[in-house]
């Protein structure tokens, strides 16, 4: 029997539940209570493509040290789903704890010898306390939270406070929930040895940070960035972004006097229509966006190409998920990198932004609207399910009060009236970005016809080769210009000089940072570069050039970012070592540590062998 795990404010609790059983609210309450105790935490919802009945998990990482990515492994499992019992039990660390409903006895073979089993007769407690079957089910979740609060020595006042806030306005629900909490807590304190080795202690380490999902923050960024038109089609995991935009708009975008809306949201008939509306609105000078996921990007391909060639601003939030149809779609991946970067037919490439968390999702959402207008092109904000749908503990959102929207090169009535030369596709100052006019601007000047590629610099119809080539070259110059405006990569140097580097992006950041710390304790030092946008800045290739071997860490099977680096930078692929996590769950620090260590063992072995005769 191993020693029981002992930790204060640094462990992983995982809840295994049945979808639709009302567990989400109790589990969320647990994570938020930890935060209320001043201890940093993050949560990850691993859910099925289903409304009721299939297994769902909720994993809470508690880390006083501030490691909020997924660590890997589980220290305390709250196993409430018989269907996934075996795999849930298997996931517990040796010396870890299992909390389960012991109302019905289970054979010894269903448990492990090397974990600490804590049975609480949750069903029996609820059946005694409630007559209504629905209440018995719902309050069971709060009862296990009560048990857990005793086991982990949680501050019950923090939980009660949150229950009060959660049911504000529905005050009759507060008392019964607090009662249920104490049913569990009192039972545990009487019947069990509390607390166990894992404990929570009040700290003041959360500070000003906020607990939000990336979709909510990105939607708010779209509000702040001045988006007025949103067209979308429901698809997991992006729907909550459009819905959050609607809810933020109801709050912030109603005219104070008339109550009329300063926004228009259309739930379109499909993704083709969504992007079409966004392009129509962008063409006509409104800031517009859509939110979708991989399958939606596939459907939008033709339109995205048209927007690229016709040079129309559009913002596309791609909340990446796994594969088409059902199943993996409720799991996270970074698997749309290539399909977004080169979306559509013909020679196209697009600006991509890679926010690392909800805070950056907010910032990049607003930035993307500026970038799209400045560059007159579609801009992708590459979120994923992990950032989009999970609540993250991040720095509070902030907005520069002096910030003005960058509407880019729009020729207005005064300029046209003053006789400025207007050529819709004319590169007047060699940055590749032409001026555009909006419909309705001037009675006799500035009108033009928007088409694909059959045009000259003055938007006149032509199918000749020379103007086509010239236009394609100008689009390349414009893509180069994009680097001036897109967020630059973030570089971090290892504590000791090293030949090895690592490149990562997006939601991998937190797990990566923790992995780097762990690796350092093992004497493995890596310089790192976090890519924040495509096209790649020169720093990216300088970084590649200055390291012998680089790990490219990403959450897809085909090392798509690595491919993009080799294509765009003509980098020798052999120097870029892929580290790939794509089982649908967010990448963990332990996974990265193991992969890097294993790879380095192989990589560093080679010169040794060479040294031998």
Partner 1 sequence: MTYIVKPRLHHPKLPINALGYTHRDYEGSISTLCAGCGHDSISAAIIQSCFELALPPHRIAKLSGIGCSSKTPTYFLGQSHGFNSVHGRMPSVLTGANLANRDLIYLGVSGDGDSASIGLGQFAHCIRRGVDMVYIVENNGVYGLTKGQFSATADKGSKARRGAVNTDSPIDLVAMALQLGASFVARSFSGDKMQLVPLIKAAIQHKGAAFIDVISPCVAFNNNPESTKSFDYVRAHNDAVNQLDFMVAREAITADYAPGTLETVVQHDGSMLRLRKLAPDYDPRDRVSAMTYLQQRHAAGEVVTGLLFVEEDHGDLHEFLDTVEAPLNALGENELCPGQEALDRYNAAHR
Q: Which positions ≥6 away from 270 have C-beta within 8 Å?
A: 233, 299
Contacts of 610 (CB under 8 A, 6+ apart): none
Of 545, 544, 560, 542, which is closest to residue 506 (Cα–Cα)? 560
Of 229, 122, 124, nearest to 181 by C-alpha is 122
Taking the complex as a whole, the smallest distance from the CB of residue 217 to partner 1 amounts, in Å, to: 9
Q: Does 205 contact partner 1 by CB under 8 A? A: no
414 touches partner 1 (CB under 8 A) = no
**Binding-residue total with partner 1 (CB under 8 A):** 76
**CB closer to partner 1, 297 vs 580:** 297
As a whole number of angstroms, the distance between CA 493 and CA 545 comes to 15
Tell me the three state secondary structure of residue 244. Answer: helix
Neighbour count for residue 447 (Cβ, 10 Å): 15
Q: Which stretch binds partner 1 (CB under 8 A): 270-278, 497-505, 534-542, 598-606?
A: 270-278
Q: Is 303 an interacting residue with respect to partner 1 (CB under 8 A)? A: yes
In angstroms, what is the minimal distance from the CB of 46 to partner 1? 22
Nearer to partner 1, 288 or 531 (CB): 288
Closer to partner 1 by Cβ: residue 299 or 540: 299
Min dist. Cβ of residue 233 to partner 1 (A): 11
- Select from 116-124, 208-216, 376-384, 594-602 the region that touches partner 1 (CB under 8 A): 208-216
Phi, psi of 118 (to 5 degrees): -120, 110
CB 297 within 8 A of CB 339: yes
Which residue among 443, 469, 496, 546 contacts partner 1 (CB under 8 A)? 443
Per DSSP, 396 falls in state P
Helix ranges, 486-569 (H): 509-521, 538-545, 560-569
Q: Does 285 bind partner 1 (CB under 8 A)?
A: yes
**DSSP secondary structure letters along 520-534:** HHTT---EEEEE-EE
User: DSSP letters of 173-199?
Assistant: GHHHHHHHHHHHHHHHHHHS--S-SEE
Running DSSP on this structure, what letter comes out for residue 315?
A: E
Task: Pick out residues in 34-93 that bind partner 1 (CB under 8 A).
Answer: 35
Q: Which is nearer to partner 1, 437 or 559 (CB)?
A: 437
| Residue 409 or 460 having the CB closest to partner 1 | 460
List of E strands, 233-286: 264-267
Residue 306 Cβ, how far from partner 1 at the closest point, in Å? 5
Give the torsion through C-alpha atoms of 185, 190, 196, 199, to 10 deg: 40
- Report the residue number, 151 or 394, with the smaller CB distance to partner 1: 394
Given a contact cutoff of 8 angstroms between Cβ atoms, the answer to whether 17 and 52 are in contact is no
User: If binding is defined by CB under 8 A, does position 174 make contact with partner 1?
Assistant: no
Contact status: 463 vs partner 1 (CB under 8 A): yes
> Would you count residue 460 as binding partner 1 (CB under 8 A)?
yes
Candidate segments 67-75, 183-191, 232-240, 449-457, binder of partner 1 by CB under 8 A: 449-457
Q: Which is nearer to partner 1, 461 or 610 (CB)?
A: 461
Binding to partner 1 in span 229-268, by CB under 8 A: 229, 231, 252-253, 255, 258-266, 268
- Tell me which stretch binds partner 1 (CB under 8 A): 10-18, 66-74, 371-379, 442-450: 442-450
Is residue 411 close enough to count as binding partner 1 by CB under 8 A? no
Q: Which of 157, 284, 472, 477 binds partner 1 (CB under 8 A)?
A: 284
Note the Cα 286 to chain centre separation in Å.
26
Interface positions, 361-400, toward partner 1 (CB under 8 A): 396-399
In the numeric block, which tokens belong to residue 38?
């001043």
Rounded Cα distance, 400 and 382, in Å: 24
Interacting span for partner 1 (CB under 8 A) from 76-84, 300-308, 332-340, 475-483? 300-308
Beta strands 10-18 and 74-79: pairing type? parallel
CB of 400 to partner 1, least distance (A): 8
């Amino acid at each position: 029997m191993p020693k029981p795990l002992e930790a204060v404010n640094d462990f992983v609790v995982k809840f295994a539940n049945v979808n639709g059983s009302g567990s989400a609210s109790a589990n969320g309450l647990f994570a938020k209570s930890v935060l209320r105790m001043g201890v940093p935490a993050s949560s990850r919802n691993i859910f099925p493509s289903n409304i009721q009945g299939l297994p769902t998990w909720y994993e809470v990482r508690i880390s006083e040290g501030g490691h909020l990515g997924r660590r890997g492994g589980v220290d305390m499992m709250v196993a409430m789903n018989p269907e996934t019992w075996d795999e849930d039990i298997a996931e517990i660390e040796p010396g870890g704890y299992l909390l389960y409903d012991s109302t019905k006895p289970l054979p010894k073979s269903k448990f492990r010898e090397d974990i600490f089993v804590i049975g609480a007769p949750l069903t029996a407690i609820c059946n005694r306390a409630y007559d209504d079957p629905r209440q018995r089910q719902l309050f069971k979740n709060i009862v296990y939270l009560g048990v857990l609060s005793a086991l982990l020595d949680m501050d019950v006042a923090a939980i009660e406070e949150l229950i009060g806030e959660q049911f504000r306005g529905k005050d009759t629900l507060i008392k019964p929930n607090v009662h249920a909490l104490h049913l569990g807590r009192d039972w545990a304190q009487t019947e069990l040895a509390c607390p166990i080795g894992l404990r929570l202690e009040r700290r003041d380490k959360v500070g000003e940070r906020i607990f939000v999902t990336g979709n909510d923050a990105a939607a708010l960024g779209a509000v702040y960035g001045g988006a007025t038109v949103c067209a979308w089609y429901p698809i997991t995991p992006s729907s909550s972004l459009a819905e959050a935009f609607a809810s933020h708009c109801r709050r912030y975008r109603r005219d104070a006097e008339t109550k009329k809306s300063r926004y228009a949201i259309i739930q379109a008939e499909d993704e083709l229509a969504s992007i079409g509306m966004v392009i129509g609105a962008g063409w006509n000078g409104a800031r517009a966006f859509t939110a979708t996921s991989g399958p939606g990007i596939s459907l939008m391909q033709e339109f995205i190409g048209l927007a690229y060639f016709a040079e129309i601003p559009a913002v596309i939030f791609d909340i990446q998920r796994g594969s088409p149809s059902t199943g993996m779609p409720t799991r996270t991946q970074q698997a749309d990198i290539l399909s977004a970067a080169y979306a559509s037919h013909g020679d196209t490439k697009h600006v991509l932004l890679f926010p690392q968390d909800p805070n950056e999702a907010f910032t990049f959402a607003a930035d993307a609207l500026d970038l799209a207008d400045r560059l007159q092109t579609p801009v992708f904000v590459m979120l994923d399910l992990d950032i989009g749908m999970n609540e993250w503990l991040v720095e509070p959102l902030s907005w520069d009060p002096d910030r003005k929207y960058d509407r880019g090169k729009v020729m207005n009535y005064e300029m046209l009236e003053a006789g400025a030369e207007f050529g819709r596709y004319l590169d007047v100052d060699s940055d590749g970005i032409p001026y555009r006019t909006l419909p309705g601007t001037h009675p006799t000047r500035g009108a033009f016809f928007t088409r694909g590629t059959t045009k000259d610099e003055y938007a006149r119809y032509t199918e000749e080769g020379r103007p086509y080539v010239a236009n394609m070259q100008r689009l390349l110059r414009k893509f180069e210009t994009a680097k001036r405006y897109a967020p630059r990569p973030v570089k971090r140097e290892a504590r000791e000089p090293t030949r090895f580097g690592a490149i990562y992006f997006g939601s991998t950041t937190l797990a990566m940072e923790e992995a780097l710390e762990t690796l350092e304790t093992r004497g493995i030092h890596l310089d790192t570069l976090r890519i924040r946008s495509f096209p790649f800045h020169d720093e990216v290739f300088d970084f590649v050039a200055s390291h012998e071997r680089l790990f490219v860490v990403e959450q897809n099977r085909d090392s798509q970012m690595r491919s993009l680096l080799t294509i765009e930078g003509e980098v020798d692929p052999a120097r870029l070592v892929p580290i790939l996590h794509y089982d649908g769950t967010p990448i963990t620090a332990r996974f990265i540590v193991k992969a890097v260590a294993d790879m380095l063992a192989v990589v560093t072995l080679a010169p040794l062998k060479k040294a031998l005769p």
